[in-house]
Amino acid sequence: MWFPRRNVRLAPRSRVGLAVVAPLAVLLHAGPWYEEPPLPGPPAGKSAADHTPRYYVAVGPLDDATGAGRDDVEELARRFLLDELARLPSVEPHAEIPAPDEFAAALEQRGLQGIVLQGSVIRLSRSRSGVSAALSMLVLDEDQSFRAMVRGDGDARGRTGPLTEAELPAAQADALRAAARAAVDGLDGYLCEL
């Protein structure tokens, strides 16, 4: 017996890689099929002073190298990257890369260090029991010189057995979300070392 989409919960898993293999992190999707936006203000237990951004992170264009047949892969990946960047207190996320003069002026005015993310969705594939996704991101400075490479891998598995066609779009979105979270976790590790 197959259940409607709302009765099936998917369990995304993610792995982070940044020049070394990091441990597997399991993210359980126990909530609704959508996520509420975070409340404004600093995270619980932190003061506004702890929440001051240090980095202006501009997310550049993403390519879809998956061949998955979805028109919205780049859009979903960008949205998930921006959502995940917004949860980092040291980051001020931006959806576009400004012109060089505007970028330099914004950095100087805000007193932030500039970071640009560009990359590709390199995998969005279906297996019998789930979907896996991978993002490969270049970390560039404000002059767009290469600084690091971050990769995020994510999986979403059906809890009731093999995925049905009706469950596939939600599983793909959950796998992309997990891959974006893993990539941003890798970026956060890199930024902590600066």
Q: What is the pLDDT of residues 31-89, one digit of tens each?
A: 444 444 454 444 554 444 456 889 999 999 899 888 877 788 999 999 999 999 999 99
Mean pLDDT of 86-93: 94
Q: How far is CA 166 from CA 15, 134, 194, in A?
A: 26, 22, 44
Q: pTM to 2 decimals?
A: 0.72
Instruction: Map out the domains of the chain with their CATH numbers.
Output: 18-25+55-193 (3.40.50.10610)
Per-residue tokens: 170: 């939600």
Return the pLDDT at 173.
93
Please determine, for residue 30, whether its predicted confidence score (pLDDT) is greater than 50. Answer: no
Sheet hosting strand 146-157, strand order edge to edge: 21-26, 13-17, 146-157, 130-141, 113-126, 55-64, 91-94
Return the pLDDT at 81.
96
